[in-house]
Amino acid sequence: MYSKKFLKLIPYFLVSISINTISQIWAQNIYTIEKISPNGLITVSLTVPVDTTNNKNTQLSLRDDIPVTKKQVINVRCGHTKLKHDKSGNWLLPTTCNKVTWQVKPELSDNKPIDLANQLTLRLKKAGWILFSESSSLLRIKHSESASVLTSTNNIPLLGATSTLYGWAIPPVGTAPEFYIIGQPETQQKIIADLPVTYVIDNPQQTNWSELQALHQKTLRYFTTILSLPADLPSNEKSLLLIWLGTEAKNKQVNGAAGRRSFIANYIYERNHRISTSDNMHSLLVIAHEQFHQYADMVRYKHPVDTSVWIEESLAQYYALKSMQKALSADEFEAIKNKSLSQDQNIYFKFSEIEQQIKENNYKNYSLLYSQGPKFWYAMDQALLSSSQGKYGLDSLLPVLINSDCQNGQLPAAFVQKANEIGGNQINNLLKQYVQ
């Protein structure tokens, strides 16, 4: 959108040459990292697009599709005027305001374990850079459908996943979030199956991460062989940014969060000695899990689907495990497979029930998606393989599964139909036991 009234004032030749550029800039919400104070406060500004400044009742808020555990945005201002937020956390934008600024107060992550799943902006003092998480740090213009970009001034180094003409792309509300780096960490670039991957690791001196990096590459390569990317995926949408933060083994907390073209994940380290193989495998499982989410987002590209939390989480966990067969020795894989699939065969809740609980904000059985979930998909995989004499497993149905809508916590109808054609009664029994 652009203002026709303003365009009339521009000489014709300029309009004819630059109309595309002008409309593109005006249609963008441009966010700028303006300043980092000595104590780590980040000043961010949003240049309000021309079509929005004239609107009454324009509201700003953090994206509402990702619940944040902590408010990191403070001092929201237009010029010298401090803006107030209402009870729901919305800031009303004055009609004359064309630039809003605020500050982001990062969590200090050096001395305490931090749950990455909370998607907070973190300041890593020792590493000397900031993990900037848009879902907890950027105020969005409510109901704006314009594209958004993140940029910086004053020579502040900024790294994102998807580069555009005007800055690093910011995903729209309703899609996966994105993570950025402020500062200049050591980075490593690799091309994996045609995908340019940038690794940012908080402590590149850790002995275990380079091994993890090689293992991760094998899991990603495997995902590219079972799910192909859409032909119209632009090259700038293929670059991935992977951010790995160490967590000491004694913390017993390994987490991650997947973004659109970036993801964050913990890796386990020991302060004074080499970590155990099983800890390293645990790190790889988390990394491969987030990588599967992120890769699935790329496969869906312009066609996001209505899916269920249980399908997304259990499938990412099963495929993370499955991908490890490509990365580990036979013995190592057997050990982690047995640990994940053999213990406790009880089915505590059906997945449609857990999905309903999640809708009601009841997360008490959420962890079953990571334990009971892979067991279900493994049984499904085996049933498909055995009834087709090894011809079709879950891999062959994965494109249908991840590209189809589903309802009420059930599997997509197109997937169920195809699975039934191959596995008949065995499939129906599994669905009755685990899903319906």
* Interface with Zn ion (CB under 5 A): 313, 316
Closest distance between Zn ion and the C-beta of residue 34, in Å? 34
In DSSP notation, 361-399 reads T--TTTTHHHHHHHHHHHHHHHHHHHHTTTS--HHHHHH
Sheet holding 122-124, edge to edge: 107-108, 122-124, 129-133, 179-182, 158-159
Question: What would the two tokens of residue 98 be?
Answer: 């064309």
Which lies closer to Zn ion via its Cβ, residue 318 or residue 392? 318
- Give the nearest distance from C-beta 258 to Zn ion in angstroms: 6
Q: How far is the CB of 313 from Zn ion (least distance, A)?
A: 5
How far apart are the C-alpha atoms of 199 and 187, rounded to whole Å? 6
* Residues 102, 347: Cα–Cα separation, whole Å: 48
Neighbouring C-beta atoms of residue 21, cutoff 10 Å: 11
CA-based nearest residue to 316, from 263, 373, 358, 365: 373
**Of residues 134 and 313, the one with the C-beta less far from Zn ion:** 313
CB of 289 to Zn ion, least distance (A): 6
Instruction: Return d(Cα 314, Cα 371) in angstroms, integer.
Output: 8
Minimum distance, C-beta of residue 316 to Zn ion, in the bound complex (Å): 5
Give residue 290's identity as a one-letter amino acid code. Answer: E
Name the pairing type of β-strands 129-133 and 122-124: antiparallel
Query: Would you say 31 or 244 has its CB closer to Zn ion?
Result: 244
Least distance (Å) between residue 241 CB and Zn ion: 18
User: Which lies closer to Zn ion via its Cβ, residue 181 or residue 316?
Assistant: 316
∠ CA 153-72-47, rounded to 5°: 35
Query: Which residue type is seen at 94?
Result: P
Nearer to Zn ion (CB atom), residue 124 or residue 288: 288
Please report where in the chains the tokens 């998909």 appear, as a residue: 377
Nearer to Zn ion, 297 or 313 (CB): 313
C-beta of 3 vs 365, nearer to Zn ion? 365
Dihedral over Cα of 242, 405, 67, 79: its sign? positive
Give the shortest CB-298-to-Zn ion separation in angstroms: 16
